[in-house]
Homo-oligomer: A and B are copies of this chain.
Amino acid sequence: MRFITGLIWLFSVAVSAEPLLVEKQHFTLDSFTTESGQVIAPVNIGWEAYGKLNADKSNVILITHYFSGSSHAAGKYQQDDATAGYWDAIIGPGKAINTNKFYVISSDTLVNANVFDKNVITTGPATTNPATGKPYGLAFPVVTIGDFVEVQKALLDSLGINKLYAVIGPSMGSFQAIEWAVRYPERVQRLVPVIGGAFMDAYGAVKLERWAYPIKTDPAWHNGDYYDKGQPIQGLTTALAYITQDAVHPMGFNQRYPSPVNDKNAMQDIRASLSAWEQLMQHAKVRATYQDANHILYLVRASQLWRAGMADNWQQAVAGIKAKTLFLPASGDLLLPPAFSQHSADAMKKAGNTPQYAEIPGNWGHLDGLVNIQSVAPLIETFLNQP
């Protein structure tokens, strides 16, 4: 669970007396053909579930994870884990996503960032290519949000689940949730895209490219072929620092990091670093120990290519969504601002759907979709309890 510590290091997570205990499970797909036409064989991913599957398998809620996240959406692996899954505030017995009622399932995506976290199972550039016995590196095919969805579908098929009461996910998880509702409109009854939307724009895609840049320009990257030499740690750490800043609103950031006023060296030496930068990099360094630089590049690319339906017209794609939908952007989000949700909802409305819309308040911007999700718990609960 180090990735949780890494991501929400800013917050002390309220821990209930009786944590939901969860277990990581392993799913293998012998062969998978990507959207780009390449074959990955086999695909391994991790998954976990909370609550009980009912007899007719009609109570399933799928949670799709964000860029830096994993399948650990709720609960703890052990009683004494320091933190619980990222949405533990809303997933559990009696909570908004009530595990007394629903069977909640979540899986690690392909190219998951936290590939070296012992609680994450994924397949990507850092995992072994059976053809060579070595890590794939950049021989791993480009994968898309659509591919993430297809792997999840294979997992659900293997469990005999062919209807989803709801799909809910934050950020890159909202992309997957929307893609589920687009590809399988008959299977998805409810859709809750949190801090996200149905497309990526040029501005966002370039911002993502800026996360990739420090990795690609780190001499230790070696064009992605570094697995016998050690990670491009400077590039990876810098990328993770950028990700943190871009996910946080200045209000929160300035609460957490020191003003440059006290950086006395900075006025004497142009090479001197600011303490805010140093601290941000130190926090990122912790996450860099269990994340992989190439995986970040692949997640960047999947996010850059994102548009509902993965074809030329995302508006047309979302027109086919049949799910009842609730968009939940965060008011202060500068990474995937509310406009993404609004444009997505507008396109659905044009097609006759009636998506609901509400904003998550807070000082943390994009990150409010994780750390302040409790504030919209009643909305989610009401939405899920509507027939």
Residues of chain A at the chain B interface (Cβ within 8 Å): 35-36, 138, 140, 142, 144, 199-207, 209-210, 213-214, 217-219, 224, 238, 242, 245, 248, 250, 253-254, 257-263, 266-271, 273-274, 276-277, 280, 297-298, 301, 304-305, 307, 312, 314, 334, 337, 339
Contacts and interface: CB of A to CB of B under 8 A. Distances in A.
B266 A304 contact: yes
A182 B108 CA distance: 56
Contacts of A201: 250, 253-254, 259
Number of chain copies forming the complex? 2
Nearest to A310: B267
Contact of A202 (B259, B297, B337): B259
A270 B143 CA distance: 9
Contacts of A200: 259-260
B267 A238 contact: no
Given A267-B144, A270-B138, A276 B202 contact: yes
Given A217-B214, A257-B202, A250 B339 contact: yes
A172 to B, nearest CB: 15
Contact of A301 (B140, B209, B262, B270): B270
Contacts of A280: 206
A304 B205 contact: no
B36 A267 contact: yes
Contacts of A214: 213, 217
A271 B138 contact: yes
Contacts of A203: 245, 248, 250, 253-254, 257
List of 6 A-B pairs having minimum Cβ-Cβ separation, nearest first: A203-B250, A202-B276, A202-B257, A203-B253, A205-B260, A201-B254
A204 B267 contact: no
Given A217-B214, A260-B304, A339-B250, A270 B142 contact: yes
A200 to B, nearest CB: 6
21 contacts: A35-B267, A36-B267, A36-B268, A138-B270, A138-B271, A144-B267, A200-B259, A202-B257, A202-B274, A203-B253, A204-B250, A205-B259, A206-B245, A206-B280, A209-B277, A210-B242, A250-B339, A261-B314, A263-B304, A266-B304, A334-B334
A285 to B, nearest CB: 15
A206 B301 contact: no
Given A202-B258, A204-B250, A206-B277, 8 more contacts: A36-B268, A138-B270, A140-B270, A142-B269, A201-B254, A203-B245, A206-B276, A266-B304
B253 A202 contact: yes
Contacts of A257: 202-203, 206
Contact of A305 (B36, B138, B254, B260): B260
